[in-house]
Structure 1
Amino acid sequence: MQDNAQTRSPVDAKSAERPLGPALRRGWRRKCPNCGSGPMLKGYLKVRDHCPVCREDLFHHRADDGPAYMTILIVGHLAAPLLGTVWMAWQPEPLVLFTIFAIGTVALSLYLLPRLKGAMVAFQWARRMHGFGRES
């Protein structure tokens, strides 16, 4: 009977080297999921082709609309109950309520969007999705 380490494919052996938790934390901070020090994004949402520090290829990502959907999901689930609670507790003027919640939801969305994109790219990197698992 062969040793389990010998029967494992190279991709299986390498997959243990990419823990999900640290990669997601690095992505949330918009840093390279590999080294954690190089910037992942150039500009607001544009992902770099590679990390300027460790040269890890990042162009494989397929984040597409995922970060926007997650942002809408989170902001909506926070804003809707809060809107109802504020209305029931204080009954502010509708224009005041609209202004406060419009500013709050836009600000929260602008804060979350690049962080969720970084986390999504880091998730794909950690799980070797969309070409991240290929050997260079």
Structure 2
Amino acid sequence: MHTDSTSDDTDNDASQRAVRPALFRGWRRKCPRCGQGPLLKGYLAVADTCPVCKLDYSHHRADDGPAYLTILLVGHLMAPLLHFAFVKWRPEPLVLFTIFAVGCVALSLYLLPRLKGAIVGFQWARGMGGFAQNG
């Protein structure tokens, strides 16, 4: 089924769904299809369905992906900063540890639900799992 519509909001064909808007909507923790309803019902728990467009989220399989991506990003951002701060200013070890421990925890807590939303959005856009038939 091919449609001439450029909008992915109402298109049920998984091959026609745009990935970038779905990723952005998921990053914002909104429904990947309509962008209005909340994707998460808690900090990391995915809702059962979208209250706006009724998209069934039960097909998502984010599993450990968001955690792995969070570790990857935080590690690649904080390690060079740690090295730079140590070489440039030579702070006391306890001060350096405290600042970077708080920074790593804060960045991880910020990224984790957003990456989970982006992964669910990607799965929806690519029609992975049951998302190909529904939504």
Segments of structure 1 that go 5 or more residues without pairing to the other structure are 6-12
**Count of residue correspondences:** 126
Report the CA distance shift for 1:29/1:98 in structure 2 as closer, same or farther (over 3 A): same
Residue identity in the other structure for 1:128: G
Partner of 2:57: 58
- Shift of residue 49 of structure 1? 1.0
Structure 1 stretch 93-102 or stretch 15-24: which is displaced more? 15-24
Partner of 1:129: 128
Task: Calculate percent identity across the aligned residue pairs.
Answer: 67
CA distance 1:83–1:135, shift in 2 (3 Å)? closer
Cα deviation for residue 98 of structure 1 reads 0.2
Alignment of 1:18-29 (within 5 A): 18-29=17-28
Counterpart-to-counterpart distance in 2, 1:77 and 1:16: 33
Match of 1:90 in 2: 89
Secondary structure of 1:42's counterpart equals coil
Could you state the TM-score of these two structures normalised by the residue count of structure 2?
0.89
Query: In 2, distance between residues paired with 1:122 and 1:16?
Result: 14
In the alignment, residue 115 of structure 2 is paired with which amino acid? L
C-alpha separation in 1, matches of 2:15 and 2:28:
22
CA RMSD in angstroms, aligned pairs only: 1.6
What CA distance in whole angstroms lies between the structure 1 residues aligned with 2:127 and 2:134?
11
Q: Which amino acid aligns with 1:64?
A: D
Alpha-carbon displacement from aligned partner over 1:60-115 (angstroms, at most 9, x marks no partner): 00000000000000000001111000000000000000000000000000000000
Q: Tell which structure's C-alpha radius of gyration is larger.
A: 1
| Alpha-carbon offset, residue 16 of structure 1 | 4.1
Where does structure 2 lack aligned partners over 5 or more consecutive residues?
3-11
Give the TM-score taking structure 1 as reference length. Answer: 0.88
Alpha-carbon distance in structure 2 between the residues aligned to 1:60 and 1:16: 17
- Displacement after TM superposition at 1:14 (Å): 1.6
One-letter code aligned to 2:97: F
Q: How does 1:1-20 map to 2 (within 5 A)?
A: 14-20=13-19
